[in-house]
Structure 1
Amino acid sequence: MFFFFFFFFFFFFFFFFFFFFFFFFFFFFFFFFFFFFFYFFFFFFFFFFFFFFFFFFFFLFFFFFFFFFFFFFFLFISSMVVLYSSEYMGSYGFSSTRFLFLVLLFILSMVLMVISPNLLSILLGWDGLGMVSYCLVIYYNSLSSFISGMITCLTNRLGDIGILISICWVMSYGSWHFMFYLDFYSNYLFYMMIISCFTKSAQIPFSSWLPAAMAAPTPVSSLVHSSTLVTAGVYLLIRFFHQFNFNNYYFLFLSLMTMFMSSFCANYEFDLKKIIALSTLSQLGLMMSSLFLGLVNLSFYHLLSHAIFKSLLFLCAGIMIYYMNNNQDIRMMGLVSNLLPFTTSCFNISSLALCGFPFLSGFYSKDMIVELMLMSYLNFFLFILFYLCLGLTACYSIRLFYYSVIFKNNQSSLCLVHENFNLMNCSIFVLTFFSVFFGCLIMWLFSLDLSFIILPFYLKLSSIIFVMMGFWLGFELFFMKSYFKMVYYYLFSNMWMMYSYSCFLYNFLYWYSYNYSSSTNWGEFYGSYGISFYLMSISSIFQNYMLGNMKMFLLSFMIWFIIFI
């Protein structure tokens, strides 16, 4: 009995203890694991969703950043220009608010053209660029500004005809979204697009409006020539280029001739803003020529790098003009580096990047374009023309360096004050940093899908050799006789009389009506007097050639000997 009671008590105690222990530990571990897993899963899902959304938005940002890279890039340059304008235009006493709204409308038109998926919205941005550029060119309300604005507006309207015809052509497919019907388009549509892009990017024979647009304020010139108006044609042609299936050598020749004409004319110009405008035209010819060679990625690459140092070049020129009391003649800016050391340093850095000086921003794209051009199937004449353009670019770059640093003729009484650090210097400092490092950064970060380049050693060095020859030729131009230089000046400063060609119809009708009204002496004008006048003019030109520098004759003979013999 005692044994049974003891066994029952022991079993009950053991069962109770075991049950209590099991119940206690069960609930303890249950709540412990419940809260543990609850917090674990809470933090797990929290961090999972946090990193998921973080990487999702990070990926989305970089997707749109790379997809609309030119859009973000363009906004960066626009912000620097607006920061520069806040002090530049305010110092001149003009309405900075009105100017700011016009610049923002200009930027909005470019944004609309960049991100548009159909031709109708592209036309809205395209026409917006043309009309707002007219308002900005005539901003100073002078007679020369009105004439320049009208030339700019009418020439750009001539190019709008191509997009209007393209829109009518696309409507036959039932939609304005050209991305869905690219395989059905004929070549005539792209001929119209090329006419529009050639007009907007000021290629031959539509080049006369680009120097005329220099009547606008300097921040507008910086924005127009770096990343908006003149580059809109190149950008639109890059978007449509993959659908071209015709021979591009005719357009390649036109772009090379544009590059040659603008490079040559820049060496005989003395207006600082017009020299930079002609350098823009030269670089646009380089982009177009590389595009028609099939180097689409390199054309876009050079478009981005050119936008950086060209905006810097214009902003530095604006500061120099501002401190020289609105003087734009480079012959009056000798030793300006003593008065504006920081601005002159940034100006010469951008000028060297423009001519493709090694390891600056413009070197990487330009050198690769030259090397791939050497591997293409071009004739010898196009090779020589391309290298002459390369040397002439270095020639006017060293010319700007000579007049700003070495040349001693300076109108110091025109200078207002010495340089001080302000918002204008802040913007050019940021652009100078990117003018030095942007080319290599793009080369390292982006894959350009280029073929392997195999060239002999002397061809690898040919681009640098021609740049150095351009430097030498630039110094030689300073020591030529003045009357020999003026012969070239009258011809090349007028862009091969292209301004007269653009106004030919107007001039023809005007002079025809004038001669008709004065019909009493028309026989004398078109007879012996006119013939003698033209013969004397031609003989005076040849006489100036005969009194010229012998070195230039030998150099010209050597160039033509290389080309034709």
Structure 2
Amino acid sequence: MCFSQIFNMLSRCSWVAVGTLLLTLGIMSLTYSFNLLLGGVAYYISIYPSVHILLMELGWLIDFQSLCFCGCVMLISGSVVVYSQDYMMSEKFLNRFLMILMSFILSMVVLIFSDNMLQVILGWDGLGLSSYLLVCYYNNSNSSNAGGLTLMVNRMGDGGLFIVMFYFILSSHQVHVFMSNSMCVGLMLFLVCCTKSAQVPFSAWLPTAMAAPTPASSLVHSSTLVTAGVYLMIRFHTSLMSISWLSLLVGVLTSLTATLCALVEKHMKKIVALSTLSHLGIMVTILSYGWVDMSFSHLIFHAFFKATLFLVVGFWIHSQSGYQDLKNISSASLKDPQVSCFGGLAMMSLCGLPYLTGFYSKDIFMEILLYQGGGVLMMVFMFFGMMGSFMYSFRMFKSINNSSNMGVLVLLEEDPKCYKLSLLVLSCLSIFGGYMVSCYWVLEESVLYVFWEMKLIVLVMILTSFLVVMKSKMNSYFLSDLGYMSSLSRMAPNLSGYSLSLNVNLFDKNFLNPYSGGSYQMSASLVAPDVLSLNFFSMMKLLFLLMFLLVSIS
């Protein structure tokens, strides 16, 4: 055995030990968080020696929400680290990838336990930088473009956080904003959180970030980075009460747009990413009604089953030589039925089937909407967004088990033990996580008296979604382009520079070239193709839908 093989074996064992340590820390954090919940206590750990900056004491806030979310992050991180040992076994720079992943986890922990804007900015910047490095890991044109868009949107959020911090320093000489009631601060914080959680109109970066390796997508783009914005909204919920109408509008529009786009998307990773986007919209919608605990519970439950689904999708893609188009990935479930069963359970939990993890948050939210009432159109849009979960899940499940196109199945050299170990942990959380949490954490909003007709709504939604998926063939460029948000996001940073360079080029040709009579006609054909591809009537439809939503919530 050569030296390189010994080194690779030791490196593999060390990273498996790191993943096991993260899993252990996650279990301990979740267990102790419920002790804090039942005891109704919280702890503040000050940095020693005491550091005072701008009359502010730096430290860490440990309460139920921060410790529970940290435990969730640790469990998923440990599973992803173990999973990567098989999935990325042939990668030359696996250690570099895992080190970037650990830096992301550290930044996430800093953000979770921070109690002031200075520490929040440190964690926020760390998340943006590490996520950019993960998206650009494969170092090709697709990854570079996706990383540039991701970095641009995240830097917008960074700038917003700096503006909020400077505002508080100038106005009150302190940066503790958890109890602020200012509408301006609430609006700025909401926009900042929307950039990280990919809410409309900042949604284009999340599907393009699927250029990252699948383990990174499972951790970063499903359960931690994108939910960091929602987590800050939960922390700052008192500041957001004055703009609840805006958060309701953005949440419903995000959920509806992502659902419609997922119904026509062909790439599996992007379907799961759009599903994540839809559920992020649901979390923001729940929070807009003032139900903080319910929004936080859906954040935790969603992280469990969505991370499982991402890892299973990565296994299916790996078994088909990297193909992820639904037309080419048929019969992928034949590769390993056990792993495919984990994926089926994650999809059922995603749909909110009774007594799985997703049921304990989505079902309660739907019952409350029916019981307490609200805007009729808002309820219709929200129910359609939830029904879309069944539709795109059935669509993907149908394609995975379709035997009409067998494709090429790639057999792995060894039995993927690390695959199954990590998937087993997350699948248990996807099945029993909601029940275990509900035994200790009873939401105030969950004590309802509903009629049996309301209980039938979920079954009707499932049957309707099944029939629609079996009979329909949906395809639309407008939806596949995320309502033109992808084209607009790519076009906006370059449009001003493109116009300036075009004018300079035209100016030079007119004055320096004596034969420039046709330069004006030539310049008319150089308009950006992204601008020409935008259909005017489709954009008018989008604006009409936005106005319709504004009227419905008024």
Shorter chain as denominator, the TM-score bin is: 0.7 to 0.9
Matching residue of 2:76: 77
C-alpha separation in 2, matches of 1:464 and 1:267: 20
Matching residue of 2:166: 168
> CA 1:466 to 1:525, structure 2 compared with 1: closer, same or farther past 3 Å?
farther
Matching residue of 2:399: 403
Query: Residue 120 of structure 1 is aligned with which of 118, 121, 145?
Result: 118
Instruction: Specify the SS of the correspondent of 1:318.
Output: helix
What do the CA deviations read for 1:456-501 (whole angstroms, capped 9, x no partner)? 3322322331232112211122xx3xxxx44x2x121110110122
Say if 1:325 and 1:416, in contact at 8 Å, map to a contact too.
no
C-alpha separation in 2, matches of 1:337 and 1:103: 29
AA at the equivalent of 1:302: H
Matching residue of 1:107: 105
C-alpha separation in 2, matches of 1:215 and 1:402: 24
Say if 1:106 and 1:129, in contact at 8 Å, map to a contact too.
yes
C-alpha separation in 1, matches of 2:94 and 2:114: 30
1:374 matched to 2:370? yes
1:437 matched to 2:432? yes
> CA 1:411 to 1:60, structure 2 compared with 1: closer, same or farther past 3 Å?
closer
Shift of 1:317: 1.0
Shift of 1:441: 1.3
C-alpha separation in 2, matches of 1:245 and 1:345: 42
Shift of 1:304: 0.6
Matching residue of 1:219: 215
C-alpha separation in 1, matches of 2:109 and 2:100: 14
Say if 2:251 and 2:281, in contact at 8 Å, map to a contact too.
yes
Instruction: Specify the SS of the correspondent of 1:238.
Output: helix
Instruction: Specify the SS of the correspondent of 1:189.
Output: helix
C-alpha separation in 2, matches of 1:458 and 1:492: 34
Query: Residue 495 of structure 1 is aligned with which of 479, 482, 505?
Result: 482
Say if 1:390 and 1:467, in contact at 8 Å, map to a contact too.
no
C-alpha separation in 2, matches of 1:274 and 1:188: 35
What do the CA deviations read for 1:247-287 (whole angstroms, capped 9, x no partner)? 41232121111101111111111111111110100110111
Shift of 1:512: 3.4
Shift of 1:148: 0.5
Matching residue of 1:310: 306
AA at the equivalent of 2:420: N
What do the CA deviations read for 1:172-210 (whole angstroms, capped 9, x no partner)? 32222335xx25x42211111101111100000000000
Say if 1:335 and 1:409, in contact at 8 Å, map to a contact too.
yes
- The within-5 A match list for 1:152-191 is 152-171=150-169, 172-178=171-177, 182=179, 185-191=181-187
Farther off after superposition, 58-67 or 113-122: 58-67
Shift of 1:160: 1.6
C-alpha separation in 2, matches of 1:210 and 1:239: 23
- The within-5 A match list for 1:9-48 is none
- The within-5 A match list for 1:165-564 is 165-171=163-169, 172-178=171-177, 182=179, 185-412=181-408, 414-417=409-412, 420-450=415-445, 452-477=447-472, 480=473, 485-486=474-475, 488=476, 490-509=477-496, 512=499, 516=503, 517=505, 520=518
Residue-pair matches, total: 467
C-alpha separation in 1, matches of 2:237 and 2:172: 20
What do the CA deviations read for 1:93-125 (whole angstroms, capped 9, x no partner)? 232211111111000000000001111000000
Shift of 1:232: 0.2
> CA 1:523 to 1:471, structure 2 compared with 1: closer, same or farther past 3 Å?
same
C-alpha separation in 2, matches of 1:468 and 1:80: 34
C-alpha separation in 1, matches of 2:139 and 2:241: 46
How big is the alpha-carbon RMSD for the aligned residues of Structure 1 and Structure 2? 2.8
Matching residue of 1:142: 140
AA at the equivalent of 1:154: M
> CA 1:523 to 1:273, structure 2 compared with 1: closer, same or farther past 3 Å?
same
Instruction: Specify the SS of the correspondent of 1:132.
Output: helix
Instruction: Specify the SS of the correspondent of 2:330.
Output: coil
Matching residue of 2:86: 87
Say if 1:361 and 1:440, in contact at 8 Å, map to a contact too.
yes
Counting helix residues as a fraction of each chain, which structure ranks higher? 1
What do the CA deviations read for 1:423-452 (whole angstroms, capped 9, x no partner)? 111100111111111111111221222263
Shift of 1:400: 1.0
Matching residue of 1:46: none
Instruction: Specify the SS of the correspondent of 1:375.
Output: helix
Say if 2:86 and 2:416, in contact at 8 Å, map to a contact too.
no
Query: Residue 35 of structure 2 is aligned with which of 39, 62, 75?
Result: 62
Larger Rg: 1
Instruction: Specify the SS of the correspondent of 1:152.
Output: helix
Shift of 1:146: 0.8
> CA 1:509 to 1:407, structure 2 compared with 1: closer, same or farther past 3 Å?
farther
Say if 2:34 and 2:440, in contact at 8 Å, map to a contact too.
no
C-alpha separation in 1, matches of 2:231 and 2:494: 34
C-alpha separation in 2, matches of 1:425 and 1:296: 35
Shift of 1:521: 6.5
Q: TM-score, normalised by structure 2?
A: 0.79
Instruction: Specify the SS of the correspondent of 1:337.
Output: helix
C-alpha separation in 1, matches of 2:394 and 2:33: 45
Shift of 1:520: 2.8
Instruction: Specify the SS of the correspondent of 2:354.
Output: coil
Q: Any stretches of 5+ residues in structure 1 without a counterpart? A: 1-57, 542-562
C-alpha separation in 1, matches of 2:187 and 2:106: 27
> CA 1:505 to 1:326, structure 2 compared with 1: closer, same or farther past 3 Å?
same
> CA 1:359 to 1:461, structure 2 compared with 1: closer, same or farther past 3 Å?
same
Instruction: Specify the SS of the correspondent of 1:231.
Output: helix
Instruction: Specify the SS of the correspondent of 1:454.
Output: coil
Matching residue of 1:544: none
C-alpha separation in 1, matches of 2:160 and 2:351: 33
Fraction of identical pairs, as percent: 35
